[in-house]
Structure 1
Amino acid sequence: MSRKFFGTDGVRGQANTFPMTAEMALKLGAAAGSYFGRDGANGHRVVIGKDTRLSCYMIENALTAGLCSTGMNVLLLGPVPTPAVGYLTRSMRADLGIMISASHNPASDNGIKFFGPDGFKLSDEAEIAIEALLAAEIALATPMQIGRAKRIDDGLGRYVEYAKTTLPRGTRLSGLKVVVDCANGAAYKAAPEVLWELGAEVIPVGVSPNGTNINQNVGSTKPQLAAETVVAHGADVGICLDGDADRVVILDEHGQVADGDQVMALLASRWAAEERLNDGTLVATVMSNLGLERFLGARGLRLERTAVGDRYVVERMREKGLNLGGEQSGHIVMTDFATTGDGLIAGLQVLLAMAETGQKASILTRQFERVPQKLQNVRFRPGQKPMEAGSVQAAIRDAEARLKGQGRLLIRKSGTEPLVRVMAECEDEALLNEIVGGLVAEIEAVL
């Protein structure tokens, strides 16, 4: 059975439009509560965090009502990063964790992500089971077993304290001037606080959320303002998070961007030298640059690739007992510290490298030369299936033949937006541009 509502990162869509409506959130809450409370015992608990979108209030209340109706006790964290929900689900011995966020998407979107009692995102099997319950008659709690809801005021503080413990005891970041861009999102309080408490001089950007400005010209997908701020203030480094702070990109002292591939290369090489990179292996997705693979191979390290989505990276890491993985987009998963991508903790690891080596960010975040890569997105409407068109399939076969031995091609539907992503890598940039441009034009012609 395939998943109808769950994508690569929970249920997502435009707020107040199906499936991201209050009614659907109520049903999802009841279905999740029924699934995790299926042993019939009372007293199950669920923690709920959210980012700063206006629609989070509506969805939070609807989810709470659905969960309480099945006897779940709800602990409301307020605005916290997604990784904080994973951490607090385990720390507070909850049966379920929920994050309300559409991550890097615009404020008009929202999403619901689920975490199991171990703090990891749910498996495909669990999501399929919850979807099945949406269509079933859910058994509601008796009047005397309806769940309670409670605000947890110190959830953010617990995460702030934990984030600091991921650095060696006594580490101080004194002397580092750091721009931190919180995308007007979930980390707008936590990230500057952690950096300040560790002794850094902090210049915050994107810390004035108003419900509608999350990711708006700020954050990991729009780092221009942060880059300008780094240069204007003579900062040593910039840390750019996305709306729910599970992604990060790093800016060097010149404002140049280093993506997740460069961060993973830095951490993998450091951890390998310290003999703490499990099995000498890094896990990344098919989107990671070929240059990363070559960099690792030259050092006797391995790259394992997965499907796109940090959940698939984590699944492979857990399956093989590996402790470092991530995505080019900036999800950096360090299972020694967190159960999901954590942009702030990954940023702290970069700052630790700077503090310990005395090297500038421009040196540390340029670990390898990227193979020229081009990615273009083509938006489609609901019901359209451009990838099934014969002309598109023929164009893909022709492109793969032309790239054989010179590069690689990846075409896929996004799991979070109605987009077809066309990506290719090739040393010959003229050929690269020709192939990607031709495929995009073919897909657009079909649409």
Structure 2
Amino acid sequence: MFTQSISFDRALWRQDIKGSRAHAAMLLKVGLLAHEEERRIQEGLSRIEEEMTNGTFPYRDEYEDIHMNIEKRLFELVGTPAQKLHTARSRNDQVSLDLRLYVIDRSREMAGLLAEFIRVLIGQSRRMRDLILPGYTHLQQAQPISAGYYFMAHAERLLRDRQRFLEIDRRLNLSPLGSGALAGTTLPIDRNHVARSLGFSGVTGNGLDAVSDRDFVADFLHAAVMLSLHLSGWAEEWILWSTREFGFVRIPDRYMTGSSMMPQKRNPDVLELIRGKTGRVIGHYMGLATILKGLPLSYNRDLQEDKEHLFDAAETVRQSVTLFSRIAGESVLDGERLREALSGDELLATDMAEDLVREGVPFREAHAIVGRIVAYCERERRKLASLTDEELRTFSPAFPEQYARVLTPENAVRRRNLPGGPAPEQVEVRIREIERELDGR
């Protein structure tokens, strides 16, 4: 049936029952339900909850959506009192409430999963704090960094993602129930009582806006898109790093697949799917924005179409985060291969320029001097660290004696001992700051 949504909005059954329980309790409080009626409604909702949980609930397509399916089933179970449950309530504010509760639940779930993921990265960072690897810009080796610093860079991205989901939770702290179809009700309801019982801090300020507001769905999808983009970029990185050409990371076999023809293949299918599903999440965000772009106030049936975008995106990012967290925690960086990658010491050119600055050479001049040294080494097939004091001084007399001895990737990392830098002490400082945030301190 063209107008039905029960095939997908059944995902809201928990939130719908939760909202109905609170609404029934409020109707009892204000005298619009008798005690026995409210008791029977609550018992009926408990029976429906059991059926939903056990998979025995009798869904009926002709009732179109989850809200009417539950209401009709409640009437079958308890009779006349069920007809009073919708007192002072419209499907407009009912749907708005259910969707808000769903987004709150999913945002909290994502914040929790991301906290676990970040803790996995903290563990990897501490275990590999002294492993040196090349840092890249433009996919070209740039400067040496530590594996600890590398894992925490990804942790920073996920921390921002977590903050976005938490902000959605905070912003959704108002209940729309009581807005009715768009302008409330003449009946003596207590909106604040329902709001408090559902965990909200207050009520929405305008029913005309509240029943048609889907900003929070767009906010959730935006957070999901940003998270997916971060995972996708990282997936691409490790897909490259897992190739024979790089060989930097060994991903466990359970996250790889073979080839039906080529026996030697280890294909990073899970990471490729995480990367591919990012397009799907972006598509959901654009789909929702297209639905919302021309809607007049207040509720329009177009908003039925918001749910498939939300539900699929939420489940997709949940799976992607869960799997990537396991991959990140179980994969191993190949120290020997990373040392080989660092054997070309052009990554230390910036250190050379800064050391000349320390000796009083203007930075632009120092940059040019080291550029000529790098060109000389490439031409002569030499390493920077192999140059003698005499050779270095042909380029600049400012180089100190036995300078090449300090020119190592390990020293380059240790010397960058500033806030946000890769020195092990600074990485640990930042780890502790993040741990305090995750612990709520």
TM-score with structure 2 setting the length: 0.25
Query: Is the radius of gyration larger for structure 1 or structure 2?
Result: 2
The structure that is strand-richer by fraction is 1
TM-score with structure 1 setting the length: 0.25
Q: Which has the higher contact order (CA 8 A, sep 6+)?
A: 2
